[in-house]
Each structure stands twice: as structure tokens, then as C-alpha cells.
Amino acid sequence: MSRDAPSYDVLIAGGGPGGTTAAALLADAGHSVLLLERDHFPRFHIGESLLPAELPLFEKLGFDPKAVGAVYKQGADFIDEEKGQFARFPFAEGMEGTRGHAWQVERASFDHQLMHIARAKGADCREGVKVDSVEADDDGVTVHAGDATFRARFFIDATGRDRLMCKQERSYERIDGFGLAAIWARFENLSPEAIAEVTETGNVTVIMVPKGWGWAIPLPGGKLGTGFVSAEKGVVSEEWFEERYAASPFLQRVTKGATRAPFGKAGDYSYKNARPHGARWGCIGDAAGFLDPVFSSGVALAMGGAEKCVSLLSPALRDGREADPELLEPLQAHMAKAYTIFSAVIRSFYHTNMVDNLFFYDDPDPALRAGLISVLAGDLWRDDNPFVKLLLRSSRRTRGRRDATAAAS
């Protein structure tokens, strides 16, 4: 069967932060890029709390958070209202080199602005076009989208939890032991007093609840993003949200008199794509895997993965090496470090006394505290973090005991 010559260097499916970051960087490097997004922007999306690790990439892209009315975020607060415990972790108290702040954004405007940047740099970004399947051959990639067919030299899957290539390759692997389901609702028209309170630091507030946790994120325009995650099967419902919400004096106070938008839900969201790349294609962001929403890592990992992907793909396109099936192996290794660290922190959060021993401990080790803050900031690719070293040693010991127990049984 004859194939048409590729019309584009790279075709990207998905217009979220990972897809648009890849499109912008590739176009800026002089490559022809087509991005296909199934929805029409702006559109609602969960995941509004950003991390300091994203700031250098914002600068590289030319993205100004103030242009979308972002809320300045100093760090993260953890509260256990039942026990009367409170802990604050300012990013500025992280390890040397960790950026000292982040932003809270309305994802509809944030994602739309990143797409504007990609277009301004020369990427062809089309909305309302859903990619259905992908075929790679010796000369390029054929991408089917409805009645249309496109040819490119390389394909990037940035389809998020739709995980196009993961489904096509049947490479889904579930991750157990994290949160099982989430339910969220946005509050609008907060009172001036509430807006002043939640934007004083702009911090995300993590609320400890029995067998789960909740969040509160101050958003532009006097809004508050809220939600709860359950570590139990089958309990997430609107009634369950109402119970958790009613049990939180903090949420009751800051949302008094506000209006609530409709609920959203998600479940079975912790997974790994066991085959995130192949000849002429690769996956970034949630298409490569997603852990848990607890530490707001999704956007940082998507954008950071996109940047690393482009650093490998761009020179390969220039040299004609883009068909190498191992081209993105360094991307997989790079992201594996981040996933390993975040997985260990999340698992400790759900299954150990980490919250009491470190988050709410009255006199924590200063070096460990600074290391934890750097992890919360998304500053993961460094070898001098004592908290990470301790965490990974503990994780290996725990895994070893589990393996020994399994072998004995």
C-alpha cells in the first residue's frame, strides 16, 4: 500500500498543557506541527493548582500567569480539623534552588492561553477534531480523525486520561494503593472576607478526612475549587461530599453565601502506560500515566515531560532519526524518577504515619522539612535531597518486606 509523504514533522493529539507545550517548543525550533484537540476551547478542566517547578518553562514559553488572572500561591497548608492540627509549607522554605512560589489558575483560560502561544509560534492548532487511531510505517505516521487522514513524521499522544496509544497498544497497568475516586464542586461569588482569607497566601489547603482527604484551591474571580478523595471503594457520591463538606468548619466559613456549581467525579485514575513510546510515536502527560491528585503533580509532569520529549525529538527530526524505536527511552527514564518519588510520597501519605510524623510534627528535622517542600514544589530531578533519599530507602524496605511475605505465603 502506497503512503503519502508526511505533511507535518509532528502531529500531536491533545491540547492540554503537555500537548501545547510540545507544540510551542517544536514550532519555535522550526518544525511543522499540527495539533488536534477534540474539544473547543475554552473548556473546563480539573487540576488548577500549579507548582513552582513549572516557572522556568513558563518563562521559556513566554507565558505570563498574570495574563489569565492567576492567584499567587505561596505554598500548601495541611489541616486536620478533627484533631485541631495545622501545618504550613511555604515553597520559599524549600531547598536552595527551589522556586519560591507558584500559581492557582482557571484551567479553561490557562490551557487556552497556552494554545494561543503555540499558535503564535507557528503550530497549526485545530479544535473539535478527535484522533481515533494511529498507524506507524517506515516512512511516517498516518493519523485518522473522523473522516480526515493526516500524515506526519512523528506522533505525540497528549490525550490525557483518554490515553489513546495506551488503549491502542493495550498497555494499561492499574496502580493500587492510592485514592480510588474523587468528587469536586466549585464555589463562586465568595464574600470579600472569604476572598481576602484564601488569597492572603493563595495556598492550596489539603483537608484530612477519615480514609481520604479534601482540597480547597483559591481561583481567579472570587471562586474556590473544592473536592474530596476517598481511599475506600464505592463511597464517593454527592451525599458523601455533603457529609465531608458539612464536617469542615473551614469550608463552611469560606463558602458561606457562595453559590456552588455542579459536581464532577472521577475514579480509577491511578495507572501506568507500560509502553509509552515506540517507532515514530511517544506519550506525554497523563497519556503516559497518572498517579494521584494529592500533590498537584499532573500539570508539572505533563509540561516537564513535553519539554524533555522535544529536547530528544527536535534534533532527531533534523538528523532523520525520528523512526528510532528507542528515541524516547531517555524520556521514559527521566519521568520514571519523578514518578518513583511522587509514588513513594503518595503511598506514604495514604499508608503510613507520614502525615503525623512530618506534616504535623511540632519540631521536624529542618533538612527533611526543606526536602519535603522541594518535592511538593515539583523540584524532583536533583540528587541532594535528604528527604527523598530517606523516603526511597524506606520504600525499598517496605517493598522488600511485602515481597518476602508474598513469597512465604
How many helical (H) and strand (E) elements, i.e. helices and strands, does the chain have? Answer: 12, 21
**Set of cell numbers at residue 89:** 509549607
Q: 298-319 vs 329-351: helix axis angle to the nearest 10?
A: 170
Q: Find the farthest-apart pair of alpha carbons in the chain and give their distance in angstroms, rounded.
A: 69
Q: Per-residue confidence at 5, pLDDT binned at 50, 70, 90?
A: confident
The helix or strand, by DSSP H or E, that contains position 99, with its residue range, turns out to be none
Beta bridge partners of 151: 142
Q: For residue 381, what are the contacts with CB-CB under 8 A and spacing of at least 6?
A: 334, 337, 338
Phi-psi region at 163: left, alpha or beta (left = phi > 0; alpha = psi -120 to 50): left
Query: With a threshold of 0.85, does the pTM exceed it?
Result: yes
Average pLDDT in the chain: 93
Kindly compute the dihedral angle of the four CA atoms of residues 232, 234, 235, 236, in this order, to the nearest 10 degrees. Answer: 100
CA distance 41 to 115: 9
Residue in the block written with cell 494529592:
294
pLDDT at residue 408 greater than cutoff 70: no
| Burial environment of residue 366 by CB neighbours within 10 A (0 to 12, 13 to 18, 19 or more) | exposed
Concatenate the DSSP letters of all residues of 132-149 into one string.
Answer: -EEEE-SS-EEEEETTEE
pLDDT at residue 102 greater than cutoff 70: yes
Beta bridge partners of 37: 127
Q: Per-residue confidence at 360, pLDDT binned at 50, 70, 90?
A: confident
Q: Per-residue confidence at 399, pLDDT binned at 50, 70, 90?
A: low
Q: What is the pLDDT of residues 62-97, one digit of tens each?
A: 999 999 999 999 999 999 999 999 999 999 999 999
